[in-house]
A = this chain, B = another copy of it.
């Protein structure tokens, strides 16, 4: 699940990002409304957390423009204001929920879960061949045997399996898994593909990740014999 936070106070922004990443969300940060709107329009997020009072473009304006552009992404407002009019105003502008600062992180998580509930069909294990991935607990199994992965390894494998039978280009991978949004020549992907293949092979789970030369990678369900 991908979340975009639009928040200018570095303290709050950092705290949110860390906490949400511990919960296995992929978190992007924008420090003002303009950049936030730009991010939201050019990427697919599952949820937006937007502060009301931010530079360049107010949170409410971001919200309005997103809705005008046809986006249906759930938006959760953060606000210091808590008069009735402000709340009404925010929800009218297209927000789905709001929280007044300061708030408890647990409550925020609960509100996020409410927004994402429809997407999370309770028991959503990812499968590919003999591989089972539990995104909730961060566990990967090859049959019965658990495979221990580092956070980056897990993120990459999860992304590939979520898109199984579809080609994942290098640029999409670097964008979704590494949060790098500009061109750069790095061979991290290759290295991590090697790591993954090695660990999968050690668990007798081979020939799952295939290379598409010049493009990227694909996870293919092996034909059962």
Contact = CB atoms under 8 A, between A and B. Distances in A.
A215 B39 contact: no
A78 to B, nearest CB: 12
Contacts of A150: 213
Interface string A156-174: 0000000000010111100
B171 A214 contact: no
Number of copies: 2
A35 B110 contact: yes
Nearest to A112: B38
Interface centre among A113, A182, A215 (most CB of B within 10 A): A182
A138 B215 CA distance: 11
Given A102-B181, A175-B104, A182-B11, A22 B110 contact: no
Interface stretch (A26-34, A123-131, A199-207): A26-34
Interface stretch (A12-20, A46-54, A58-66, A189-197): A12-20
A105 B175 contact: yes
B169 A31 contact: no
A213 B215 CA distance: 33
B171 A30 contact: no
Given A35-B107, A110-B35, A137-B167, A182 B102 contact: yes
What DSSP secondary structure best describes chain A's contact surface? helix
Given A18-B170, A29-B104, A38-B113, 14 more contacts: A11-B184, A12-B182, A23-B169, A29-B107, A30-B110, A35-B114, A38-B110, A39-B106, A42-B110, A103-B181, A105-B171, A138-B212, A138-B215, A151-B214
17 contacts: A19-B184, A28-B106, A29-B107, A34-B114, A35-B107, A38-B110, A38-B114, A39-B106, A39-B110, A42-B113, A103-B181, A105-B181, A137-B167, A138-B167, A150-B213, A151-B213, A151-B214
The 4 closest A-B pairs by CB, nearest first: A19-B171, A22-B169, A35-B110, A15-B184
